Amino acid sequence: SEQLFMEMADRMAAEGWRDAGYEFICIDDCWMAPTRDKQGRLQADPKRFPGGIRKLADYVHSKGLKLGIYSDVGNKTCAGFPGSYDHYDLDAQTFASWGVDLLKFDGCNSDSLELLAEGYRRMSLALNKTGRSIVYSCEWPFYLRPVQQPNYTEIKQYCNHWRNFYDVYDSWSSIKSILDWTALHQDSIVKIAGPGGWNDPDMAMIGNFGLSWDQSVTQMAMWAIMAAPLFMSNDLRHISPEAKCLLQNKEVIAINQDPLGKQGYQLVKDKNFQVWERPLSGQAYAVAVLNQQEIGGPQKFTLSLTFLGNGLACNPACSVRQVLPASRDWGFYSWISSLSVEVNPTGTVLLKV
């Protein structure tokens, strides 16, 4: 309801979220009335959004924030509300006139892959034609993938970020499956990511109930390595101080938002351990050591620094700083030395080298 989104906007402005860089409040499916209005335009559910979306956008903007909304490329949304098929220009104009700043465009109920692709292209052009700056979030490759390999060059031409894999759930198995899928497909998806277009592994579940502390640290660290858009799916009225601290961690957010804009990748897989690295600006690297073991206690993993950055990260020497689970300096290392990292089960140690 509009009340809920206004409350979230208040929290984001008052409790440091906006200052940490979280600037969008996004409405997902089910915001609409079941039918379009007499002019064929989408309309908000009158009971839950009595002031309409324009009023909500104005309120969100007054807090120094931006508003995101949801629609679908097909004739119905995933939950069965009116979709944008055959109304791309009208819907784009409607969203722009309301002051919307982001559109999540889903891929349900499209009759063919040709119509799906055409719809994603047409909505992109329609949004640009409004003259308003609207971030365009697509699910194009996810709906293509069962049938054909997505053309990421084309997708990046039209979309600002795109989902490749299933919806995230508030569970460790969900986070793990997203990381496994990403590692498996990294050769085709990592190179396309960069300023203007990003792979979207879906939302941060931190601050809910399904993830342990170590698993929350793993999601935050790995989303930073993957250059993922950081969208939270949680209730800011009921979030623990620890989860808030993690989501607002400036060092991790700086890695996530690094201006070089290169996505990280899995470097080593050794039994239960994975090492991922991400090139950063200023010749630095973010390195994540993930322990996938789900039982027992913390385990040690030893890593030769010559491995990192094609041998360049520590040549001839480098400083190492731990960012997660807690921040501390590890000092200087020479190129030929090794790092020994102790990692909790399902946890991650995030380093900046």
End-to-end CA distance of the chain: 45
**CB atoms < 10 A from the CB of 13, how many?**
16
Query: Does the pTM of the predicted model rise above 0.75?
Result: yes
Q: Which domain holds residue 313?
A: 265-352
Beta bridge mates, 333: 318
Q: Are residues 293 and 213 in the same domain?
A: no
Contact status, residue 255 vs residue 323, Cβ threshold 8 Å = yes
What's the CATH number where 22 sits? 3.20.20.70
Contacts of residue 241, defined as CB under 8 A and 6 or more positions apart, other chains included, come to none
CATH of the domain at 281: 2.60.40.1180
Domain boundary among 231, 257, 283: 257
277 with 232, same domain: the answer is: no
Name the token pair of 338: 């090794």
Q: Residue 331, by phi and psi: left (phi above 0), alpha (psi -120 to 50) or beta?
A: left
pLDDT of the chain, 353 residues: tens digit per residue: 999 999 999 999 999 999 999 999 999 999 999 999 999 999 999 999 999 999 999 999 999 999 999 999 999 999 999 999 999 999 999 999 999 999 999 999 999 999 999 999 999 999 999 999 999 999 999 999 989 999 999 999 999 999 999 999 999 999 999 999 999 999 999 999 999 999 999 999 999 999 999 999 999 999 999 999 999 999 999 999 999 999 999 999 999 999 999 999 999 999 999 999 999 999 999 999 999 999 999 999 999 999 999 999 999 999 999 999 999 999 999 989 999 999 999 999 999 99
Q: Which of 19, 37, 111, 167 is catalytic?
A: 167
Domain boundary among 226, 257, 288: 257
Catalytic residue among 72, 91, 101, 106: 106
Listed residues 227, 257, 287: the one ending a domain: 257
Residues 124 and 175 in one domain: yes
Q: How many domains does the chain have?
A: 2
- Is there a contact between 27 and 74 (Cβ–Cβ < 8 Å)? no
Q: Do 209 and 87 share a structural domain?
A: yes
Both 222 and 99 in one domain: the answer is: yes
The angle formed by the CA atoms of residues 279, 284 and 285, to the nearest 5 degrees, is: 45
Q: What are the two backbone dihedrals, phi and then psi, of residue 79, each rounded to the nearest 5 degrees?
A: -95, 5
Closest among 201, 225, 200, 205 to 216, alpha carbons compared: 205
Q: Are residues 218 and 275 in the same domain?
A: no
Q: For residue 195, what pLDDT is reported? A: 96
Q: 180, exposed or middle or buried, with CB in 10 Å at 0-12, 13-18, 19+? A: middle
Question: Which tokens go with 129?
Answer: 């034609």
Give the model's pLDDT for residue 287: 98
Distance CA 224, CA 255 (A): 6
Q: Are residues 219 and 333 in the same domain?
A: no
Same domain for 49 and 71: yes
Q: What is the pLDDT of residue 284?
A: 97
How much is the pLDDT for 146? 86
Is 106 known to be catalytic?
Answer: yes
Residue 285's φ and ψ, nearest 5 degrees, are -135, 145
